[in-house]
Amino acid sequence: MHRAAPRQRQEHNGEQAVPHRYTDGRVSTQRGGCSNSGSITEEGMHKSSPLNPTLKRSSPNGSTLSRFLFWELYREADMLGVLRREVACQGAHAWGLEQGLRVIASRALSSSAKAMTVRDALNSALDEEMSADPKVFVMGEEVGEYQGAYKITKGLLDKYGPERVLDAPITEAGFAGIGVGAAYYGLRPVIEFMTFNFSMQAIDHIINSAAKSNYMSSGQISVPIVFRGPDGAAAGVGAQHSQCYAAWFGACPGLKVLTPYSSEDARGLLKAAIRDPDPVVFLENELLYGESFPVSAEVLDSSFCLPIGKAKIEREGKDVTITAFSKMVGYALQAGDILAKEGISAEVINLRSIRPLDRAAINASVRKTNRLVTVEEGFPQHGVGAEICASVLEDSFEYLDAAVERISGADVPMPYAANLERMAVPQVEDIVRAAKRTCYRSTALAATA
Amino acid sequence: MAQLIRRAAALNKSLPAASFAARGLATASTSSITVETSLPFTGHNIDPPSRSVETSPQELLTFFRDMALMRRMEIAADSLYKAKLIRGFCHLYDGQEAVCVGMEAAINRKDCIITAYRDHCIFLGRGGTLLEAFAELMGRKDGCSKGKGGSMHFYKKEGGFYGGHGIVGAQVPLGCGLAFAQKYSKDESVTFAMYGDGAANQGQLFEALNMAALWDLPAILVCENNHYGMGTAEWRAAKSPAYYKRGDYVPGLKVDGMDALAVKQACKFAKEHALKNGPIILEMDTYRYHGHSMSDPGSTYRTRDEISGVRQERDPIERIRKLVLAHDLATEKELKDTEKEVRKEVDEAIAQAKESPMPDPSELFSNVYAKGLGTESFGADRKEVRTVLP
């Protein structure tokens, strides 16, 4: 029987990097030892490279840019007063300006804050967790030699070798199943779906083989696996590549479902997911990968971890609660800024965790503000917002001063034409309008049939 | 007294019951006997092993007892199902015992087995007890999955048994994943991923096989070809029912699955192959006497003559009985006594299982997660039943 010559097998003894021969003949250089912060850069902006033609920075209303400028200016200033003047000149409406300045004041005494893209946050989290636990491995399409379809796994193959960073063929059902089987045995796989649209090919393994196993076996077979990848709409990729799966996966007992927004979220939640003994669906967002966020020294530490199941109040307010996750958090914050100018103080909750859902935080907020707007990118029917609205109605009915409002993606498959696509995803003005409705401040309502 | 023959991890077989020792075979029991398999093996892209199998009196007697026990368990499960003590699905393995028993003789508990839903006997082979099996079937607390799994979800992780899966074909990629982990951990052990002729056409099987071959995983895919995928005969479901050839670039072996010694030889051969060269497919030509499940009479798509014909000509227990008698390892009466003992064991286990209580209502919410993080969970009426997962 004829077999092709076996690929060069590498003996690797845990910590040392393994030279890997790429298909084009290059050999990666050996890097001894593991550095925990290898991929964190001071400038924090992800550089374009020939390998990364998909890089784009999204700045819907320029506020991401202004947030970045804000932090750049901070690094220049060494006095709070100077800083305030500089920022005012730029006319920047950085998120929570007063809050931010308070944070800076304390930071000014310690080391300067860094900024980090979500991409680098994910990459560094993977790197650190792989370094800390030899059972962690990564498998997916293009995660190895290609450095990751979205460069999230950049550098990992060179550092950890082909036994721990596996390029899979385009066979989601197969490699998701192999990942779950490896998790049964006790390894800690991180399975990447190039986008979660392709997770539908493997959904039987996610639900029936992974989510339900601990229960069916009464605790004998736990499944410490992470399924991660970009979820939801990108830009112009059409109906089959734009669906958000948070609601579907969020419905399943046995799964944990996480939706990071910022770089801090990305690092903390991915580390928590990899360390968690249960199957975690980790929904990233392609358009957030290139966005940069400030990260404190605590976040940069390799032991940093965020709790699963706890939401974060991104912006405190007292008039209306806006819940959001992933990319919509940014939109909700912008909506909050606009509403503030009109005298409405919005409290923006970054859910971070779809399952378990932080009902306590959401209800506590609604009991304070008496109004709720839920925001999500996915389809409206049976969405995450539906669950949140139901939960609030059940637990905090008497506290509501207005009907709950849901903002979601349109109830259509995603169109390609740019104007239609814009109508199919929530925009900041939609969130603002809904918030105003809860405050009885809207102009004429659209006529209903 | 509930003694099921347990195989210690180091494949140390002990002589089953006193009746055999009385014949003074204690010293001769491990002497070697060479037996020819019923048929030669057929290889696909591989030279098949010899059809001469080394065995011993001890092994043959153990085969007999174990298969008799398994047969008895499955027949008893049939009655329990008809008595409505077992609910839902119940897929019986009687007729196929040689596959599981022959496999166990070739491997150890570090090797892994994963199969579909016809899993009761494989569970026993991996060290599961009769009580655990019957209690699980009846949904009681002493079941191997504490009553929460049922017939299709038996597990014994410490015995290297990873279930018990209800979705046809899903267990094959899972099995390749187990093999991946074994190789990753450098455990020098293999995984047997078992599936039926119906599952043999599943796409995910070929996806997993491709990766197993690419990465040289120690995975052995075992097709238990009982010729019927539920009610559909193999020739109606598969363009090529030569399942041992379906791996194409992956070598395969066709084995008489009703001959425990042939199965043992094939599994031993496959394990050596997989550890050195990666995946291999074993097709076990076997037969199930029962229908697909307890809701299937099993006679609408095959004739009663066919079923009784196989029982006459190829029954795995009868084959061993003839061998034992031919080699004068025990008398007819001793073998019948063994069968009586085994029946008694099964009856006692059932009685004990019937005494086992149903799981406590709080078990509704246990093991949803390995680490519940204090999250809330709800019953049907969330205002009435609400709990916190530990």
Q: Which tokens go with B12? A: 């140390």
CB within 8 Å: A178 and B180: yes
- Residues B144 and B156: their CA atoms lie apart, in Å, by 8
pTM, full prediction: 0.85
Instruction: Write out pLDDT tens, residues A229-276.
Output: 999 999 999 999 999 999 999 999 999 999 999 999 999 999 999 999
The per-residue pLDDT for A399 is 98
Instruction: Note whether B249 and B85 are within 8 A (CB).
Output: no
The per-residue pLDDT for A105 is 47
Instruction: Write out pLDDT tens, residues A356-392.
Output: 999 999 999 999 999 999 999 999 999 999 999 999 9
Instruction: Note whether A125 and A154 are within 8 A (CB).
Output: no
Q: Which tokens go with B103? A: 């496999």
Instruction: Note whether A184 and B175 are within 8 A (CB).
Output: no
Q: Is A10 on the interface with B (CB under 8 A)?
A: no
Check whether A336 has a pLDDT greater than 70: yes
CB within 8 Å: B148 and A171: no
Instruction: Write out pLDDT tens, residues B108-166.
Output: 999 999 999 999 999 999 999 999 999 999 999 999 999 999 999 999 999 999 999 99
DSSP 8-state assignment for residue A442: -
Check whether A135 has a pLDDT greater than 60: yes
Check whether B18 has a pLDDT greater than 70: no
Backbone torsion region of residue A47, taken as left when φ is above 0, otherwise alpha when ψ lies between -120 and 50, otherwise beta = beta
Comparing CB atoms, the residue among B181, B214, B367 nearest residue A187 is B181
Nearest CA in chain A to B364: A215
Which residues on chain A are in Cβ contact (under 8 Å) with B215? Answer: 166
Q: Range with the lowest mean pLDDT among A16-25, A150-159, B206-215? A: A16-25
Strand pairing partners for B223? B195, B283
Number of Cβ within 10 Å of residue A86's Cβ equals 16
The per-residue pLDDT for A24 is 77
Query: Pick from B82, B364, B99: which is nearest to A218 by CA?
Result: B364
Q: Which tokens go with B120? A: 């009761």
Active-site residue, A98 included? no
DSSP H/E element including A189: strand A188-192
- Residues A246 and A261: their CA atoms lie apart, in Å, by 14
Residue B163 backbone phi and psi in degrees, to 5 = 95, 160
Nearest CA in chain B to A279: B369
Active-site residue, A172 included? yes
CB within 8 Å: A175 and B216: no
**Residue A86: pLDDT band by 50, 70, 90 thresholds?**
very low
Q: Range with the lowest mean pLDDT among A68-77, A160-169, B95-104, B173-182? A: A68-77
Could you give the ipTM of this predicted complex?
Answer: 0.92
The per-residue pLDDT for B362 is 94
DSSP 8-state assignment for residue A311: -
DSSP 8-state assignment for residue A197: G
Instruction: Write out pLDDT tens, residues A35-49.
Output: 333 333 333 333 433
CB within 8 Å: B367 and A175: no
- Residues A161 and A30: their CA atoms lie apart, in Å, by 10
**What share of chain A in percent tops pLDDT 90?**
73
